[in-house]
Structure 1
Amino acid sequence: MCGYSLHDICKILSLDFVGDGNIKLKCLLPIDRAYEKSITFVSEKKHIKKIFNTKAGVIIINPKWLIKKIDKNFIYSDDPYLTFARVQQLFNPQPEANGIIHPSCTIGENCKIDKKTQIGAGTVIAKDIKIGKNSIIGSNTSIGERVSIGKNCLFYDNVAIYHNCVIGDNVIIHAGTVIGADGFGYARDKKNNQWVKIPQVGRVVINNNVEIGSNTTIDRGALDDTIIGAGVILDNQIQIGHNVVIGEQTAIAGCTGIAGSTIIGKNCAIGGAVEIVGHINITDNVILYAGCRVTGSIKKAGIYNSGTLHQPHNIWARNAIKFKTFWSHK
């Protein structure tokens, strides 16, 4: 972790400040734990009173919230939370690849691995792989045949990338995630009372600037590809079925399940534990609250919810009966 002066931070981020531009800062901390060498922030006007008691060396704040002059160092921002994120990136940059390939790695034939790529212990790389400049592949990771990985990627330990998958630039994949496993595709043979597996021959294509959390699974397409658009962020423990398409800049929280062949638009926000059935379309700019169950296409942008809040079971049971019959009366 490196330090910056207040002046340097604001110059890098093109922000205005008031106070001592030479103050040296080491980190960011919550407002109640901050000290003179740290930065804190106020994300909402309702918390403005906390600035009077904090020991922070610098406070990120929207200047419109200050009703009187206060003798403190401030970074002015119309969006303090966004500025907090940018400053945090300065203090905690993504690690740079060191070009070292651990001797315990196994690398197949005809691989094109940039000389600045870093690969951890025990990783297995199959044949015909391409890995771009400054990428870091963690330990005990498995990369299948004919996979293409862009530049500046960061894969943590124990990631599995199946064959033929395509991963763009600046992609982060956290530990335990599986990309390109077979989709859940079977045909029923009623005569012989058995399931017949459908070979999944599509790929997973992950575009630039995507981040995928731990233990998330993205299945390969059955015939067409499963596609994750540029700038998408995926939380931990998400299941994405075969042939799903997720539009650019969509965010999905943990434990959500998306069944196969569903298309999700751009700039959507999907809360935790959302259930989305297969073969539907969700348009751009849709917000789905946590726990929402989506059983059909959504054609109009907006905020959607379903289900009921937690309540004692006996009360829930009575309300469920009322809810079921509510629209039956005309």
Structure 2
Amino acid sequence: MVEDKASLFFDVQEGRFIPKPLEQANDALPVIVFFTSDKKFLLDNEPATIRWEVRHAISVSLNNRSVGLTGSMQFHARKPEILKLKANSKHHPPVEQSLYIGVDITPPVIHYFRADKLCTVRGQSITLSWKVSGAAKVRINNGIGDVSDKSEITVQPNEDAAGIYTLVVENYFGGRCESSVSISFFPIPLIEKVFLPEPAFASELISLDKLTFHAEIELQNNIWISQPVYTNLTKLTRLESIATKIIVNKTGFESVLFPNNVFWQLIKKQKEISHLIKSIWKNRVKDLLKQSLHSGLKD
């Protein structure tokens, strides 16, 4: 006759031994072998890789989402998060483990934001350039918009454009900074009057390589320019004798330059002014040369 022997298992609760069913005794406690991340902080849009392994569990959940006993996943967030891995068994309390993933809250950096000119006439081009780091989005106001993939842009301000351009930079986690540059806009100048002096020539003049005269330009809005203007206007050869004529090798008007970067619109009037000056001076030079020649013959 075989005598059956049974084993009894007990739990200790409040100092008392409580019998445990045999089925529960054979159910091992769940174990989380590991629960890790390759990044403790998210620095940009690159996600962290989460890995885990659990044993002796009938089910596993990660942040209340059912997962396998072992596995991995890509994780990204816009703010710090606590991930919770939970291992469940049939007869034991669940086993939990937490993992903290932070984000870099350091704001992006604007190293510089500048314009190639700080004053201009509306309609003329302006080049804005910048250098930033730690940025996910970059944009500029005044109707320019997103410039995340650029480091400079050329614009032509219209009548509606404001005089302040603002660069706004944001990182992946909401941190932002901004920088502004102010542009002064002048009205487009219109030439209303041109005052030209009469050139003076002496009969004893032997040679002349370059003339320098002084011109005053009156513009609208009471703006005045009074600057030297240089040009290769005319060139005279040597006087061989009293009876010979003065030969004009070159009579022309090559260029007029007003040395003031603000009033580029004056250049558009260059040809018009050139023809006017050429006509006035040409007639005057002819008269003076005739007078000089007749005076020399009389002597």
Q: Which has the higher contact order (CA 8 A, sep 6+)?
A: 2
Find the structure with the greater CA-based Rg: 2
User: TM-score, structure 2 length as denominator?
Assistant: 0.20
User: TM-score, structure 1 length as denominator?
Assistant: 0.18
**Which has more strand, going by share of residues?**
2
